[in-house]
Structure 1
Amino acid sequence: MRDVLEVLEFPKVRALLAERAKTPLGRRLALALVPLSQEEAERRHQLTQEALAYPYTLPEAGALEEAYQKAQGGARLSGLELLKGAQALEEAIALKEELLPLQNLLSQVAAGIGDHGAFLAKIRKALDEEGAVRDEASPKLFAIRRELKPLRQQILDKLYALMDRHPEAIQDRFVTLRRERYCIPVRAGMAQRIPGLLLDESESGATLFIEPLSVVKLNNRLQTLRLQEEEEVNRILRELSEALAADEELSGTLKALGLLDLVQAQAALARDFGLSRPRFGEAYELFQAFHPLIPNPVPNSLALDGEKRLILISGPNMGGKTALIKTLGLAVLMAQSGLFVAAKKATLAWPDRVFADIGDEQSLQENLSTFAGHLRRLKEMLESATAQSLVLIDELGSGTDPEEGAALSQAILEALLEKGVKGLVTTHLSPLKAFAQGRAGIQNASMRFDLEGLRPTYELVLGVPGRSYALAIARRLSLPEAVLKRAESLLPQGGRLEALLEELEAERLRLEEERNQLLSQMAQVEALRKRLEEREARFEEERSERLKALEEEIRQKLLKVEAELKSLKEKAKTQGKKDALRELLALRERYARATPKGAWEVPRGLEAGQMVEIPSLRRQGRLLELRGEEALVQVGPVKMTVKAKELTPLKAQETPKAIGLKPRREVKEVDLRGLTVEEALLEVASALEEARALGLPTLRLLHGKGTGALRQAIREALRRDKRVETFADAPPHEGGHGVTVVVLKG
């Protein structure tokens, strides 16, 4: 059997993952990714989740790994290579210190990064910021370089002095190096003026590069010191390289950095493709799953459990059947490999093995036909699959005689059901659809096809077998009707079943459209209900605040009156009755001035038992008792005392049928059925004015369904009315299209 990873295109997922790795370590881990143990896979899922929540910066681990491998091979590294490796180690240690406080799985991985203190100390002492070996790297190197610098200057001084004494012999006044020895440019024919050794000449022969005899010994000493310096520098670099190779913590550090890079790449893949974290369970449940390698994929949902272990998917070619079964297989492989999966939500079983018979895998070496190749893979499934296995079979029964293929395929499905395996199977054979329709443990499904546009929609429809749509497409393309009818008459029983399926699909689409319309209306009603509740809550809050303010004002005035009366009593005791009487008269006069004329007058016509309105509260109630300037009023279940002057008597015809606080959705209903459009619009205008005056938040207009003309005219008027906040159809159980619910502005 072809490797299931290849069949399900898992290497392409690994390549996408490797593209998001930052280091060679992470890229190698990504390209080598395979299914793990369940414990390790769940650990990788958690690491990915943590990396999504906490992005971090990785060091340049590639330079470190390369230096480490070369050093282990016995190579002497350059100072720059050693410096880059040390810098990567310092960055790794800084990352470790950053992640350790998180106290999660990321911090556990980071704990694998070593300390590397001894190696880093040697690097800091021996190398400068550019990777050059410092003078202080060893006493010997320090001594050599201490002698080199003045010696070099001594040679230069001598050469410049010599050129100044013989300017006529000098081509240009500069000192250069030939054969690693200092020399000066002398004109050809003037060499006798500067005794010395000829080291080189220019291409034209006009200039000779001569090492004057006066600096030969100095140059010899300089060359000796240079050789000694080079030997000491190489010794130091070799020692540092050996220290790197001997660092026992380095392999653990590289392993930790590689895993941190892989986990960060997994987080980037999840973020870029909209992947989600899978959960493991007993069944396969994919919600809004899609194939991550297909551009603009159509998401689908499916479930395989103990009752529906197999799904038989049928439908037209190029309808997305193969992509769908690959979607499930790829989701399982990705989850088992520690990756997030291509679905909005996913619960997956942990199969002991995934079997896949997908595509035309004809073996040229063994000279097997397509059908024989399928049988070979099916044979392995029948022999090796268990109740914990997942099978994915594409085009079961294809490649041979349809009648024999259907019989053999049904027997294979029965054997798989007997084993208890779970999986997806695609087919074109009608007998298999009929078998699945009445057999426990297997469910029919199809890929939807748009007959109007003659194109697949790639949407999975559970419970309904699919069709090839050959006759339907032919009719859509206007083939002669006589030919189509003759073709239909020639259809066997399975073909006539296709025609019945077409009718069933049309009915299903009609019901689905009605369902969507109903859901839309329900959503509108629910939004309206929420707005009404919010408005009522705001109104109740404002009313409560106004009542509290009124009560506080009354309480303060009563306290003030009581205090002044108490003061008068005290004065009566001490100053005599005349003074007290004078103060009482002054108090009465002050309150008389403060009270507007008629403020304490009781409106005429008020009497106990009468229906009244309290305009300040926008409420109505029954007057229970008059107490001078005050009145006791029953408003719904609440009794309240208010100023009598604030009450307005209601006429008999204004008395509502229900008194007091209204139910949570207080609604006035107007029956407009039987009226002309003009009469109905007058009634609506009157009802709106009355509802607004009574403080009603909503209004119900009963206009009936009929032709819809009355409903349309009323709604046009409502759209123009500034008193209207919004309106919508009533819920289906309250009249639906025959009733318009109007929400008034507050």
Structure 2
Amino acid sequence: MEKILSQLDLQEYTSSYEAYLARQKPLFLEGDIHLHFKLIQELVNQQSVKPIPSMINLDRSIAVLQKSGVLRLEEIYAYVKIIKYFSYLKKIFVKDLLASWMDKIVIPENLFEICDFFNEKGELKNSVDETFESINRSLHLIKEDMSSTLRRTMSGQKLSTYLVDRQVHYINDQEALLLRGGFNHVIKGSVIGRSSSGFFYVTPDSITKLKSKQNDLIAKKEELTYQYCKSISSTFSKSLFFLKYINKEFDRYDAYQARVNFAKDKDMEFVLPKKSTQIKLDRFSHPALHDPKPINLDFSKQVLMITGVNAGGKTMLLKSILSAAFMAKYLLPMKINPDKSVIGSFKELFAILDDPQNVKNDISTFAGRMTQFAGLFGKKSTLVGVDEIELGTDADEAASLFKVIIEKLIDRNMKIVITTHHKRLASLLATHEQVELLAAIYDEKNQRPTYGFLQGTIGKSYAFETALRYGVPATLVSEAREVYGDDKEKLNDLIQKNIDLELKMREQSIKLNSELEEIQRLKVNLKDEKESYKAEFDTLKSKMNLDYTKAIKEAKEAIKTKDSKEAHRHLNKAHEYKKATHKKETIKQEPIPLKVGDRVKYGSSRGLLKSIKKDIALIECDGMQLRVPLNTLKRSGNVPKKSTISRVTVSKQNANSTVVLDLHGQRGEEAVENLDKFISDALIQGYEELRVYHGIGTGKLAYAVREFLKIHPSVESFCDAPPNQGGFGATIVKL
């Protein structure tokens, strides 16, 4: 979330919104977005509502109550404030959906009684207990006595010589006087500190005695307060499910009201995302711009390619389109005409804006870009923004490459916004029916960009004009213009030579592939022939064993009737024949280890070995990827048929259904590895929501799980499970 906010320049905007919240919470609103929108609209039309009280996070208190623990006084008072505020809302919301919502919140009577224990400062009232009232009265009297004692002490004539000033100083929560050296002749007290000037902070013994009484009373008051906290916590434990529910509903209302107050203060509107991929903006302004030129745009096709002048607003237009989709997705207000605007619904927003070069990982700019684009093929229902698409490599080569990539992404129903300075890619895609061209307009007369856009055409970059505008000497620009004209034909010849070389290499590649296929075919035939000979050999061997057995039988019969020496000679000869038949011609051959790219057999399935990690292999069979033990694989002789890429469609019975993973008892590393495989399998099956059980325990396992979810590219969001699905012991993951 933080990354996309930074990329779209929305961090200041979201920080301003969060200032309206009673307590921090995610931007995501769980549940039906249409219901959220209707309730927000009702709040917009509602008369002024009392501000929401500031609130602490109560997740810890829920866990304490689940273990029958004792809440702190501030936690109890937080629930009291929530109950009182919803009691107020139930009185003012008397119609429509807001009234129906409030009617569902039925507050138990015993919780109302607890609310009467507290004053507006969050302290227990004196009327709660006579002892409590007596202690408060005694504390008040001691405080007055200490004040009068200090005044009398300072007014003494003997002490006045040693007084540095006539103020009461508080040092380490104790009242003290600032005195010069030698004070011990006129006053008895304890030195509790020294000033930077060398004077002494002294607490008179009379004050020390009063302070001791005060501490005793405070201790009694804290003990009495603890007893009340214990009693109230016991009552709260019996209403734990209600407290969880009202705490969650408080966050829900807080999110609504914060959006409404933010919108009213900033004069912004809400737009409900539609079930489509269309984006039509009317008078939209990006919140990061001061006094911006409003955007009017109809982006109904799948690809919008923005070309034209440098510093003409192309990148900001891209960010504005993604920002509008982001704010609509999370029902955040924006400056827009909602009546004439349409914003589609997207599962994910993906921005490729920055230079991805990474020295630590030895990733170049272009390699990083390729990694980012490779990740797009695993996404669905995604709005993608790409700034300077040919960044990091030869523009002409990149144009050909990205033409193919973009066409494949179009086939996957991806929605893409692209900015580029190079016209070749734009010309290659211009005739595609799902590509819309947009050009940044340049004012030739005034030599400045207008920050306006013209639809349906390719724009010039105006590099020379921009260089002049930013201070490059005119002589250098003039020389560059001449070089550009002379070098144009040379560049075209070089490109043609590269094309001819590529065609020649492609022909050679086809020829080599054909020869390789023939070799593979011969290899398979040899293997089949070998297996045939082996089967024939086994048959002959079996026949010989049968003949031998018969011979032995006959020989034994001969022993009984004929000369024994002759019979034994024949019998020994028969045994020699048997020994010869069991001799196997063994050829020692070291097994060839499997490597990535080999064709392998797993059970009755055959596929391609994609990767090896320790003893686990990743194979691709019939378009599906499987993780299996390496020792279960055998080398396969099947020759892969040369054909077009097959696509496997996994039909899902219920895209919103939830699958469950239980990680109880597992170590952090083991749990993360199992969770990674679980998410991969869920994505293949088309699930969009997972429930992961990890328990509460020491919190290490839950921490490991959530840290992994933060960096997983396929995880949209995650949150604690509802009470009836595991609460803090489980996490709901949105893919």
**TM-score, normalising length from structure 1?**
0.48
- Relative contact order: is structure 1 or structure 2 higher (C-alpha 8 Å, sep ≥ 6)? 1
Q: TM-score, normalised by structure 2?
A: 0.49
